[in-house]
Homo-oligomer: A and B are copies of this chain.
Amino acid sequence: MKDGTLDELDRSILYALQQDSRHTSSGDIAEREGVSASTVRKRIQRLEEEGIITGYHVAIDYETAGLPLHAKLVCSAPIPQREELARQARDIPGVEAVREIMNGHNNVYINIIGTDHDDLSRIGQDLYELGLDIEDEQIIRNEYVCPYRGFLARDDLDW
């Protein structure tokens, strides 16, 4: 497993936690897979320690929460500083997600959340001062996160 080879139990655990990481107990997964709850807990612990599981996050509908300004910024960073700038961008209030892309240009995508248009401008300004060029800004209308079904064996698809 250290070489990234996940067995069926590991994949089943990841799939279950992608669907609901808070209300799915080790026992639930254990029952489906025919192993003990202890085994599932040990596996989860190992996946966390190995860095395959990097965290557990709540998904929020920002519009319903009264924060309707959910936007995506397409930015460009000089390649040598891309990783560092992407890391620094995470600390700017309002930044929700950062993705580094293997491009020469438009190589950092940043999702941001603002309380109003002034707030969005402020975030853009902060990123610019960091050294990121903002190439484009787009309003996000809807966002869905999907469990990666590749973790499922073909004969489990009827979950």
A51 within 8 A of B: yes
Known: A59-B56, A64-B51. A143 touches B99 (CB 8 A): yes
B residues in contact with A54, CB < 8 Å:
59-61
Q: How far is the CA of A93 from the CA of B91 in the complex (A)?
A: 33
Known: A59-B57, A65-B4, A66-B3. A86 touches B52 (CB 8 A): no
Q: How far is the CA of A70 from the CA of B63 in the complex (A)?
A: 28
B residues in contact with A134, CB < 8 Å:
none
A55 within 8 A of B: yes
Q: Is the CB of A55 within 8 A of B20?
A: yes
User: What are 28 A-B contacts with C-beta separation under 8 Å?
Assistant: A5-B66, A17-B58, A18-B58, A20-B55, A21-B22, A22-B22, A51-B64, A52-B60, A53-B58, A53-B61, A54-B61, A55-B58, A55-B59, A56-B57, A57-B145, A67-B150, A72-B109, A86-B142, A90-B146, A93-B150, A97-B143, A98-B142, A99-B140, A99-B142, A102-B138, A102-B141, A103-B138, A113-B148
Kindly list 11 other residue pairs between chains A and B, CB separation below 8 angstroms, not including A52-B64, A56-B59.
A3-B66, A4-B64, A6-B65, A14-B65, A21-B21, A54-B59, A60-B148, A97-B143, A97-B145, A101-B141, A102-B138
